[in-house]
Structure 1
């Protein structure tokens, strides 16, 4: 499975999503940050179906608290994961792989909620804004590696290219991938180029 890993800027629409899917029509799945879709779920489903690609990301329901939700849309444009932040992790099949989410700070607050699923292939970690310090960057990278080793699962995370936490005015864009042994496939700091990863070979390149 070939996965598109994107670090878009915050936007109200889905222009960057459609641009990346149009530019890379051969990928099987695309990962975007927490909240990127905003409330544009119907349009995202249409794009998934149009480009025959699974979308693994997050959106916002402003009627709920917390407002952020993890979402996975399959290649037919059907929502197969839709859960509110801080709830129990759920999983879905895509292209023969079992895939689930850790949504932003769930990584450090609850991890995988004690899930003992031995057949997980991939955990996607959509992150909202970039890290607010070097210490947070190191902490989150370290925790992601621990989860990869503990659950013997590949973990991929990505944040937006801009934005800052609270009023700090600081944002260190982050993207990373660990394999099932916890070995680094890539770790990106302040490099927001789009990447494509081949899960079978664990090789990546810039799109």
Structure 2
């Protein structure tokens, strides 16, 4: 099972998603940031169906919502931000979804006994400080350990929170022991993660197994 973690620029269309879903047919799931799909949900569903690829992201209607679209183009999760966590069984996996600051404000709720294979964490804009970057990565590691699950997060490549001066693009994957598989800061290249062996490929580089913890 291969997951593409994308960090697109903010755009009114979903052209960057369309380009990647066609360019990497080996990918089973794509994770894109919070607020990326917006008014283009129907088009995203059609591309998911055409390419047989699941899409996990977020959109506004008018408030922020979490969304999962399966490989048949069906919306299997459509949840308002801050509603209780929901787990979805798709593609032979049990998945969770955290939308941006749900990571630090509410987490995944009560731990249950069923295995969660991974949790997607679409983030809106980049981090507004180095301290926030460190705090969110640490929160992801603690949540991964608490639920013994993989957590994968990604933000847009640009944009800042509340019109601030700082935006640090972030993408990461944490394993079920709370260890980093990769942590990317100010590097907006897409990454393909193989869930079977947790190897990953950064676009333009060779496959890697693990990188040094920041």
TM-score normalised by L of structure 1 = 0.96
Instruction: Show the 5 A alignment for 1:20-169.
Output: 20-62=20-62, 67-169=63-165
Where structure 1 has 5 or more consecutive residues not aligned to the other structure, the ranges are none
Instruction: Show the 5 A alignment for 1:161-200.
Output: 161-200=157-196
Following TM superposition, by how much is the alpha carbon of 1:17 offset from its aligned partner in structure 2, in angstroms? 0.4
Following TM superposition, by how much is the alpha carbon of 1:167 offset from its aligned partner in structure 2, in angstroms? 2.2
Root-mean-square deviation over aligned CA pairs: 0.9
Show CA shifts across 1:142-198 (max 9, x none). Answer: 000000000000000000000001121210000000111111100000000000000
- Structure 1 runs of 4+ aligned residues shifted over 4 Å read none
Where structure 2 has 5 or more consecutive residues not aligned to the other structure, the ranges are 204-214
The total of aligned residue pairs comes to 203
Q: Distance in 2 between matches of 1:39 and 1:87?
A: 21
State yes or no: 1:7 paired with 2:3: no
2:210 aligns with none
TM-score normalised by L of structure 2 = 0.93
